[in-house]
């Protein structure tokens, strides 16, 4: 099939507003927008300024009203417990109505924030949709973050209610969420008056009387009330009202609260589900991310449900639960048409199954494509997957901020030739430019900063939560008229983008975005540490792993290995296990420029064992030898 990509992109270019107004026909509005874009509203403009809608209605009620209530909305497949649950659209709607009733009874309404700290259970999806139903703004926090991270988010989002569970399940341990939540609530200055806690079969947690509500009890009461005729309507919100705030790592210890609106997001997701992922009503989609990340928000929860498809919610790992065939077992058993995962997961499988024999053990006759995102897809990993699966393996590039792919190879429009190493071409709505340090466009194939010409399309962030100035400073000031992605790369003469890495202190550990600046703040808090620098060192499996260089205070008499252990524990305690901070190297001094800037790039080259030139501005070249000795020792 010839790809319709070029004509589609050209249609968008000719008339961006007409393009998105046509796409807006995909959803049901309570008030249909008459205009696509208002450039005078918000920081750089707002999409569908006079539209009114409800995202939960479009994800659930609409399908039930259309007679598709029996269709399966969610398949929960827990490789860890061995349990599975199939939930129809009708049943999911009832669950959501019951929780929405409880939220309303707790005083949650339009514009209020609700924080969700949940493992990969259907109740996490129910929570998100119940918030959307009552017009509240949810903020999901990934379970791998520790209490202080949770506390920072509580203070920024100031939620009325927190929804959580007794535990998450990792292959080797139960992650007790409740003590983490209790500690976070203690640490936070903002006081939350109510929580709703799901007691999982695997662990019962203690409850704080008067504050913590039992999920099962509220659910039973909510369902009984609905059966007795209680109406829990979808509250219409403005298309520009926030649906959620999702925190992501920036360069400082304070995470950025990325705001997502209702109308534009629905339209972008609905469009991308078909045009990029080629999945629609009646088909099954498997996105093996976590609801705590943007990929999970967009393509486990909202994207598939908006289209009336079946989404797979998988609790497990790509390897070890029980083996490297887990994803293929899930895809085969539930008839998935496509899978999205991170390259790191495929690298993990490849390590266990180098010949790529496991996929052949499963009936993957319905499986058409593997989509990869979250980090650069290295060509070896792509080749392994292509050979093992015998289907297209499609890289696509995006960020928490964009909400949906900036560049991809749109399978639904007909695939373009795959160029390994490139996540594909710009999607409609995204005008990708490569700029030099002066903000001038560079030639094809030349490296530069990747910027997006404003306005960003529907679905991308309009701003940061309560922080318009930080939004401008972080993203809009570097190149006036453009959004700066903080990624560097190039575009070839055929328009394929190549994303080579970040230009800031953000590192990518197993597809998870983390801030080295934040880890430095934690490490610097240890009483024996005089100075430190955290860099991302290359790792075969996880892409990058953090590595901390520390200079100890003279007075410190503590044993070095004890300090190293304490630092590892400190970062785990402050940021969480997901930071995977396990390597500390003690040095006598950090290499710096004459103006005092730490030479992180040179240190990275030393740990990665790459060639490097001695920086001309270095204050003391002997500091480099110190680092080399410490790394080798």
- Per CB under 6 A, residues contacting ligand COA are 143-144, 168, 170, 175, 288-290, 293, 295, 317-319, 341-342, 344-345, 348, 373-374, 510-512, 577-578, 580
CA torsion 339-342-344-346 (nearest 10°) is 20
Q: Choose the contact partner of 192 out of ligand COA, ligand AMP, none; CB within 5 to 8 A by kind.
A: none
How far is Cα 86 from Cα 72, in angstroms, rounded to an integer?
7
3-state helix, strand, coil in the chain (%, to 5): 35, 25, 40
Task: Please name which of 485, 501, 500 lies closest in space to residue 433, comparing C-alpha atoms.
Answer: 485
Task: Please name which of 250, 209, 224, 275 lies closest in space to residue 97, comparing C-alpha atoms.
Answer: 224
By the 10 Å C-beta count (0-12 exposed, 13-18 middle, 19+ buried), 487 is classed as buried
Angle between helix 263-275 and 16-23 (nearest 10): 90
- Per CB under 6 A, residues contacting ligand AMP are 248, 294, 373-377, 395-400, 423, 487, 499, 502, 508, 513
Residues 6+ apart with CB under 8 A from 310: 71, 72, 73, 74, 75, 283, 284, 285, 304, 334
**If residue 245 lies in a helix (H) or strand (E), which one and from where to where?**
strand 242-248
Q: Which is nearer to ligand COA, 578 or 587 (CB)?
A: 578
Q: Choose the contact partner of 487 out of ligand AMP, ligand COA, none; CB within 5 to 8 A by kind.
A: ligand AMP
Q: Choose the contact partner of 397 out of ligand COA, ligand AMP, none; CB within 5 to 8 A by kind.
A: ligand AMP
Q: Report the nearest approach of ligand COA to the CB of residue 592 (Å).
A: 32
Q: Taking the CA of residue 65 as centre, how many other CA atoms within 13 Å lie in the half-sphere pointing to its CB? A: 7
Q: Choose the contact partner of 578 out of ligand COA, ligand AMP, none; CB within 5 to 8 A by kind.
A: ligand COA
Q: Report the nearest approach of ligand COA to the CB of residue 299 (Å).
A: 9
Q: Which is nearer to ligand COA, 373 or 382 (CB)?
A: 373
Tokens at 555, concatenated = 């007075």
How far is Cα 133 from Cα 153, in angstroms, rounded to an integer?
22
Q: Report the nearest approach of ligand AMP to the CB of residue 592 (Å).
A: 27
Q: Choose the contact partner of 245 out of ligand AMP, ligand COA, none; CB within 5 to 8 A by kind.
A: none
How far is Cα 535 from Cα 112, in angstroms, rounded to an integer?
38
Q: Which is nearer to ligand COA, 134 or 287 (CB)?
A: 287
Q: Which is nearer to ligand AMP, 196 or 294 (CB)?
A: 294
Contact 149, 575 (CB under 8 A): yes
Q: Report the nearest approach of ligand AMP to the CB of residue 575 (Å).
A: 15
Q: How big is the chain by its Cα radius of gyration, in Å? A: 24
Q: Which is nearer to ligand AMP, 81 or 503 (CB)?
A: 503
Q: Report the nearest approach of ligand COA to the CB of residue 347 (Å).
A: 7
Q: Report the nearest approach of ligand AMP to the CB of residue 349 (Å).
A: 18
Q: Which is nearer to ligand AMP, 153 or 219 (CB)?
A: 153
Quick one: DSSP state of residue 577?
Answer: G
Q: Which is nearer to ligand AMP, 102 or 508 (CB)?
A: 508
Q: Is the peptide bond before 322 cis (omega within 30 degrees of 0)?
A: yes
Q: Report the nearest approach of ligand AMP to the CB of residue 196 (Å).
A: 28
**Going by DSSP bridges, is the β-strand pair 173-176/167-170 parallel, antiparallel, or unpaired?**
antiparallel
* 603 φ, ψ (degrees, to nearest 5): -65, -40
Q: Which is nearer to ligand COA, 60 or 547 (CB)?
A: 547
| Helix, strand, or coil (residue 566) | helix
Q: Which is nearer to ligand COA, 318 or 356 (CB)?
A: 318
Q: Choose the contact partner of 508 out of ligand COA, ligand AMP, none; CB within 5 to 8 A by kind.
A: ligand AMP
Q: Which is nearer to ligand AMP, 77 or 149 (CB)?
A: 149
Residues 6+ apart with CB under 8 A from 629: none
Q: Report the nearest approach of ligand COA to the CB of residue 579 (Å).
A: 8
Task: Please name which of 253, 107, 181, 182 lies closest in space to residue 575, comparing C-alpha atoms.
Answer: 253
How far is Cα 633 from Cα 631, in angstroms, rounded to an integer?
6
Q: Choose the contact partner of 513 out of ligand COA, ligand AMP, none; CB within 5 to 8 A by kind.
A: ligand AMP
Tokens at 131, concatenated = 């918030």
Q: Report the nearest approach of ligand COA to the CB of residue 328 (Å).
A: 15
Q: Choose the contact partner of 321 out of ligand AMP, ligand COA, none; CB within 5 to 8 A by kind.
A: none
Q: Choose the contact partner of 248 out of ligand COA, ligand AMP, none; CB within 5 to 8 A by kind.
A: ligand AMP
Q: Report the nearest approach of ligand COA to the CB of residue 200 (Å).
A: 13
List, in sequence order, every beta strand (DSSP E) within 553-601. 583-586
Q: Which is nearer to ligand AMP, 205 or 460 (CB)?
A: 460
How far is Cα 126 from Cα 165, in angstroms, rounded to an integer?
13
Q: Choose the contact partner of 395 out of ligand COA, ligand AMP, none; CB within 5 to 8 A by kind.
A: ligand AMP
Contact 9, 429 (CB under 8 A): no
Residue with tokens 């989609």: 285
Q: Choose the contact partner of 429 out of ligand COA, ligand AMP, none; CB within 5 to 8 A by kind.
A: none
Q: Report the nearest approach of ligand COA to the CB of residue 508 (Å).
A: 9
């Amino acid at each position: 099939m010839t790809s319709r990509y070029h004509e589609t992109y050209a249609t968008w270019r000719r008339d961006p507003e007409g393009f998105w107004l046509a796409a807006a026909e995909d959803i049901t509005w309570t008030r249909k927008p008459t205009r696509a874009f208002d450039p005078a509203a918000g920081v750089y403009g707002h999409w569908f300024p006079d539209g009114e809608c409800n995202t939960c209605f479009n994800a659930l009620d609409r399908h039930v009203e259309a007679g598709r209530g029996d269709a399966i909305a969610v398949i929960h497949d827990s490789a860890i417990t061995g349990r599975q649950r199939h939930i129809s659209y009708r049943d999911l709607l009832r669950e959501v109505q019951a929780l929405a009733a409880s939220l309303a009874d707790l005083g949650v309404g339009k514009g209020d924030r609700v924080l969700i700290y949940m493992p990969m259970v259907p109740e996490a999806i129910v929570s998100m949709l119940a918030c959307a139903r009552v017009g509240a703004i949810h903020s999901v926090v990934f379970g791998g973050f520790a209490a202080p991270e949770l506390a920072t988010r509580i203070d920024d989002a100031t939620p009325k209610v927190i929804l959580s569970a007794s535990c998450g399940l990792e292959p080797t341990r139960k992650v007790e969420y409740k003590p983490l939540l209790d500690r976070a609530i203690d640490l936070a200055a903002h006081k939350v008056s109510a929580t709703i806690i799901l007691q999982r079969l695997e662990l019962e947690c203690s409850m704080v009387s008067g504050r913590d509500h039992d999920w099962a009890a509220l659910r039973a009461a909510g369902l009984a009330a609905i059966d007795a005729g209680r109406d829990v309507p979808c509250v219409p919100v403005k298309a520009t009202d926030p649906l959620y705030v999702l925190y992501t790592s920036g360069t400082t210890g304070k995470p950025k609260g990325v705001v997502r609106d209702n109308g534009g997001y629905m339209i972008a997701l609905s469009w991308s589900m078909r045009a990029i992922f080629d999945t629609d009503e009646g088909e099954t989609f498997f996105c093996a991310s976590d609801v705590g990340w943007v990929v999970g928000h967009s393509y486990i929860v909202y994207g598939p449900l908006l289209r009336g498809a079946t989404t797979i919610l998988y609790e497990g790992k790509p390897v070890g639960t029980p083996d490297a065939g887990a994803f293929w077992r899930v895809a085969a058993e539930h008839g998935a048409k496509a899978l999205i995962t991170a390259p790191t997961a495929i690298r993990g499988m490849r390590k266990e199954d180098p010949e790529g024999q496991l996929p052949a053990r499963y009936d993957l006759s319905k499986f058409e494509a593997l989509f990869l995102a979250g980090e650069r897809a290295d060509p070896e990993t792509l080749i392994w997957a292509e050979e093992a699966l015998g289907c297209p393996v499609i890289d696509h590039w995006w960020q928490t901020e964009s909400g949906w792919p900036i560049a991809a190879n749109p399978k639904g429009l007909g695939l373009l030739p795959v160029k390994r190493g490139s996540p594909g071409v710009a999607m409609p709505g995204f005008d990708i430019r490569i700029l030099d340090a002066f903000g001038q466009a560079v030639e094809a194939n030349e490296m530069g900063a990747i910027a997006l010409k404003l306005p960003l399309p529907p679905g991308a962030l309009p701003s940061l939560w309560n922080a318009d100035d930080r939004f401008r400073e972080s993203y809009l000031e570097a190149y006036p008229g453009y959004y700066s992605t903080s990624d560097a790369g190039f575009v070839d003469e055929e328009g394929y983008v190549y994303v080579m890495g970040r230009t800031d202190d953000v590192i990518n550990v197993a597809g998870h975005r983390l801030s080295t600046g934040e880890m430095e703040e934690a490490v610097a808090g240890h009483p024996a540490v005089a100075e430190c620098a955290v860099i991302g060192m290359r790792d075969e499996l996880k892409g990058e792993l953090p590595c901390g260089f520390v200079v100890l205070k003279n007075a410190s008499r503590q044993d070095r290995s004890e300090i190293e252990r304490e630092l590892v524990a400190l970062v785990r305690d402050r940021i969480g296990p997901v930071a995977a901070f396990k390597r500390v190297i003690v040095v006598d001094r950090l290499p710096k420029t004459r103006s005092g800037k730490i030479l992180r790039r040179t240190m990275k080259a030393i740990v990665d064992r790459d060639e490097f030139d001695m920086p001309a501005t270095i204050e003391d070249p002997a500091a480099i030898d110190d680092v080399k000795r410490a790394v080798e020792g």
